Amino acid sequence: MGSGGYDLAVGVQYLNLNGSAPRCEHVDSLVPVTPLAATCRECQARGLGWLRLLVCLACGWVACSDDSPQHHALAHYEETDHPLAAELGSGQDHRWCYVHQRDV
């Protein structure tokens, strides 16, 4: 009893690894945004550095990426629920969805 549900959960994870995850519906409502800055303002204010910058595709907020020490783009998502970000200067065609946790 109960083992069937466990097997089903494992199967779902396997499907996701094969690229069968539900498509990201967040990209459907994208409109062009203008980046509001050329730096991570929070890092700059504290004299800290970053690896890459992401621009929020909902409001244009610019913050440091998840592989930077301070994760300010992630903090922006947690504050605002804006799901999509693109690397600043990438032409916004390489997008990350925080909700779906993958490139979209």
Examine residue 74 and tell whether it contacts Zn ion (CB under 5 A): no
Helix (H) or strand (E) holding 21: none
Residue 51 tokens, joined: 């690896």
Angle at 18 between CA 71 and CA 101, to 5 degrees: 20
Q: Exactly one of 53, 56, 62, 86 binds Zn ion (CB under 5 A); which one? A: 56
Examine residue 40 and tell whether it contacts Zn ion (CB under 5 A): yes
Total residues in contact with Zn ion, by rule CB under 5 A:
17
Q: Exactly one of 53, 55, 58, 86 binds Zn ion (CB under 5 A); which one? A: 58
Q: Exactly one of 53, 54, 55, 61 binds Zn ion (CB under 5 A); which one? A: 61
Cα–Cα distance between 17 and 103 in angstroms, integer?
Answer: 13
Q: Which of 87, 34, 93, 80 is nearest to 64 (CA)?
A: 87
Piece of 4-12, 15-23, 77-85, 87-95 that binds Zn ion (CB under 5 A)? 77-85
DSSP assignment, residue 64? E
Interface ranges with Zn ion (CB under 5 A): 24, 26, 40, 42-43, 56, 58-59, 61, 64, 70, 72, 80, 82, 97, 99-100
